[in-house]
C-alpha cells in the first residue's frame, strides 16, 4: 500500500477511535444534576444523554464494536506503515540486512501503538473528564447515527450482555440516587478546592447533623431557665426582667416542673405603659407552650415548631421533669455555628494550636468536631462534655480532675455546685487515639 494512503488511513482510524473513547467516558462521567441544569437552560440533547444513561446497553455496545474494529484495522495497516522509513534509516546506520526488516517492523509497531494510546485513548478520555456533560451532549447525536447503522449487530450483542447480567444477578441500570454522604463528599471536595469557604462547608455539615443531634444538644439547660411562678409579685417580676432581659419567660405553678405556659415580655411592657398592674393570673396573658420529649432530633423539633406555629418548646424527660427549653433560634444557631455566635457566647475557645477551653455543657458532636475526633468511649451514655467526664471518672468531677483519651487531656478547671463550668483540653501527641478506654485518669484525692 502506498505510504501516503497508509498514513491517511491511520490518521482516520485514530480520529474515529478518539471519538469513541470520548463518547464512552463523557457519558459515563456525566452528572445527572448537571445534565438537568443544561436541560433547564434549553439544551435538549441533555435529555438524550440521560436516556442513554438509563439504558446504556446499546450505546456502549456500538462503542465497543467501533473501538475493536478500529484496533484490528489499525494493527493491519499500521504494521507496515512506517516500516520502509525505519528500514531506510537502519540501512543508513549500516545495520545488518538480516535484522533491518525485523527491527523496522518492530519500530513501526511501537510508533503506531504509541500514537493510538496517546491520541485515541489518553487525550480524548482526559478531554471527556474535564467537561463530561458538554462533551456528552456534543457526541450523542453522531452516536445515534452509529446506533442506527449497527442496529442488528448491536441488538445481538446487547441481548447476550443482558443475559450475562441476569445470570449473575447484576443491576442493569446504575443507581443515580444522591445520598447525604454524596452531598457531604461534594461539599468536602468544594472546600478543599477553595470553592466553598470553611464556614460555608461547616454550615452544610451542620444541616445534615439536624437528623442525628437531639434537642438536648442545643437546649438551654434547666438550671439556666429564667421563669416566673404564678404567685410572683409585681416587684419580683420587674426585678427579674431587669436582671434577665428576655423576650419570653416560662410561667410555672409552684416549681419549674409544673409549666403552665409562657408569657412574652412585650405584653408585660404593654401593661406597664398602660399603667396596669402586672399579674400573671390575668386572663389571656399566658400562652400555652409546646412540650416535646428529650429524645427528639433537631429536625423533628423543627417540624413540631412548624406544625404548632410556635418558636419555643419545653423539653421533658421520661419522668415528665423539665430538662430545658429550646427555641427556633437555638436550632438555627446550631446550623450557623460561629457565623451567628458572638465570642462571648462561644462554648469552645481555642487558645492555641494544641489547647481548647470548653464549656462543660458543650454537646459532644461539637467537641468531636473541634478536636477532630470520630468518637469518644461509651458515647451513648452522655450528651455533653461534662457527662463524658462523669462517665469516665464514675463520680462527680472536682477541680483538677483529668482524663486522658484519644491523644487529648481533659482537665476540669472550674466546678460550681457540682456543675462543671470549664474544661481545659490539651493535645497530648504521645497518646494512642485508638483505645476504647481512657489512657489515664487523674483524680483529686481531696474531699469534695
Q: Which residue has the higher pLDDT, 74 or 311?
A: 311
pLDDT for the residue 2: 67
Res. 433: pLDDT tops 50: no
pLDDT for the residue 341: 53
CATH code at 352?
Answer: 3.30.465.10
- Pair 36, 160 in one domain: yes
Q: Is residue 158 part of a domain?
A: yes
- Pair 161, 17 in one domain: yes
What is the percent of the chain with per-residue pLDDT over 90, rounded to a whole number? 25
Of the ranges 16-20, 41-45, 321-325, 362-366, which is most confident?
321-325
Res. 273: pLDDT tops 80: yes
Q: Is residue 235 part of a domain?
A: yes
> Which domain range does residue 10 map to?
3-168
- Pair 220, 355 in one domain: no
Q: Is residue 448 part of a domain?
A: no
Q: Which residue has the higher pLDDT, 71 or 355?
A: 355
pLDDT tens figures, 327-338: 998 888 888 765
Q: Is residue 175 part of a domain?
A: no
- Pair 145, 18 in one domain: yes
- Pair 97, 225 in one domain: no
- The contacts of residue 121 (CB under 8 Å, 6+ apart) are 17, 18, 21
- Pair 198, 229 in one domain: no
- Pair 309, 386 in one domain: no
Q: Is residue 292 part of a domain?
A: yes
> 0.95 cut: is pTM over it?
no
As a whole number, mean pLDDT of residues 6-23 equals: 85
pLDDT for the residue 3: 67
- Pair 13, 157 in one domain: yes
Distance CA 435, CA 427 (A): 16
CA 273 to chain centre: 51
Res. 430: pLDDT tops 70: no
pLDDT for the residue 356: 93
Residue 99 pLDDT level (bands cut at 50, 70, 90): confident
Q: Is residue 268 part of a domain?
A: yes
Res. 438: pLDDT tops 60: no
pLDDT for the residue 223: 86
- Pair 27, 138 in one domain: yes
pLDDT for the residue 434: 46
Residue 122 pLDDT level (bands cut at 50, 70, 90): confident
Res. 340: pLDDT tops 70: no
pLDDT for the residue 1: 57
Identify the domain boundary among 318, 337, 356. 337
Q: Is residue 11 part of a domain?
A: yes
Residue 445 pLDDT level (bands cut at 50, 70, 90): very low
205-214, 313-322, 393-402, 403-412: the lowest-pLDDT one: 205-214
- Pair 13, 151 in one domain: yes
Residue 440 pLDDT level (bands cut at 50, 70, 90): low
- Pair 17, 156 in one domain: yes
Find the angle CA(365)-CA(369)-CA(375) to the nearest 5 degrees: 60
Mean pLDDT rounded to a whole number for the chain: 83
- Pair 377, 398 in one domain: yes
pLDDT for the residue 432: 47
CATH code at 260?
Answer: 3.10.580.10
**How many domains does the chain fold into?**
4
CA 95 to chain centre: 64
Distance CA 249, CA 238 (A): 12
pLDDT for the residue 447: 41
Q: Is residue 173 part of a domain?
A: no
- C-alpha distances (whole Å) from 227 to each of 285, 324, 393, 394, 421 are 15, 11, 33, 33, 22
Amino acid at each position: 500500500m502506498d505510504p501516503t494512503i497508509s498514513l491517511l488511513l491511520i490518521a482516520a482510524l485514530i480520529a474515529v477511535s478518539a471519538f469513541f473513547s470520548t463518547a464512552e467516558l463523557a457519558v459515563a462521567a456525566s452528572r445527572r444534576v448537571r445534565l438537568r441544569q443544561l436541560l433547564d437552560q434549553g439544551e435538549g440533547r441533555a435529555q438524550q444523554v440521560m436516556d442513554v444513561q438509563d439504558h446504556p446497553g446499546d450505546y456502549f455496545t456500538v462503542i465497543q464494536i467501533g473501538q475493536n474494529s478500529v484496533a484490528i484495522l489499525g494493527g493491519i495497516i499500521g504494521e507496515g506503515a512506517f516500516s520502509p522509513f525505519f528500514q531506510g534509516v537502519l540501512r543508513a546506520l549500516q545495520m545488518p540486512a538480516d535484522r533491518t526488516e525485523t527491527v523496522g517492523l518492530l519500530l513501526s509497531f511501537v510508533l503506531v501503538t504509541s500514537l493510538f494510546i496517546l491520541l485515541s485513548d489518553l487525550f480524548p478520555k482526559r478531554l471527556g473528564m474535564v467537561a463530561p456533560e458538554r462533551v456528552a451532549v456534543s457526541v450523542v447525536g453522531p452516536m445515534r447515527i452509529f446506533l442506527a447503522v449497527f442496529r442488528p449487530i448491536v441488538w445481538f450483542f446487547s441481548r447476550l450482555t443482558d443475559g450475562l447480567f441476569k445470570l449473575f444477578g447484576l443491576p442493569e441500570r446504575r443507581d443515580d440516587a444522591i445520598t447525604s454522604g454524596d452531598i457531604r463528599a461534594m461539599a468536602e471536595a468544594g472546600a478543599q478546592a477553595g470553592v466553598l469557604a470553611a464556614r460555608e462547608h461547616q454550615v452544610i455539615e451542620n444541616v445534615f447533623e439536624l437528623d442525628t443531634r437531639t434537642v438536648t444538644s442545643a437546649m438551654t439547660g434547666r438550671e439556666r431557665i429564667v421563669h416566673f411562678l404564678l404567685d410572683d409579685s409585681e416587684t419580683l417580676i420587674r426585678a427579674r426582667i431587669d436582671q434577665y432581659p428576655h423576650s419570653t419567660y416560662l410561667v410555672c405553678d409552684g416549681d419549674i416542673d409544673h409549666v403552665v405556659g409562657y408569657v412574652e415580655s412585650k405584653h408585660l411592657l404593654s401593661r406597664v405603659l398602660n399603667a396596669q398592674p402586672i399579674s400573671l393570673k390575668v386572663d389571656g396573658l399566658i400562652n400555652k407552650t409546646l412540650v416535646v420529649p428529650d429524645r427528639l432530633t433537631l429536625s423533628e423539633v423543627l417540624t413540631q415548631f412548624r406544625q404548632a406555629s410556635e418558636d419555643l418548646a419545653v423539653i421533658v424527660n421520661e419522668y415528665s421533669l423539665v430538662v430545658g427549653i429550646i427555641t427556633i433560634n437555638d436550632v438555627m444557631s446550631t446550623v450557623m455555628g460561629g457565623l451567628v455566635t458572638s465570642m462571648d457566647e462561644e462554648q469552645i475557645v481555642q487558645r492555641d494550636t494544641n489547647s481548647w477551653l470548653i464549656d462543660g455543657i458543650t454537646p459532644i458532636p461539637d467537641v468531636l468536631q473541634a478536636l477532630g475526633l470520630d468518637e469518644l468511649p461509651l458515647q451513648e451514655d452522655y450528651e455533653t462534655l461534662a457527662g463524658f467526664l462523669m462517665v469516665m471518672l464514675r463520680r462527680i468531677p472536682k477541680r483538677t480532675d483529668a482524663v486522658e483519651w484519644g491523644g487529648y487531656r481533659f482537665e476540669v478547671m472550674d466546678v460550681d455546685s457540682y456543675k462543671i463550668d470549664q474544661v481545659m483540653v490539651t493535645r497530648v501527641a504521645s497518646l494512642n487515639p485508638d483505645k476504647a478506654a481512657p489512657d489515664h485518669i487523674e483524680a483529686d484525692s481531696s474531699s469534695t
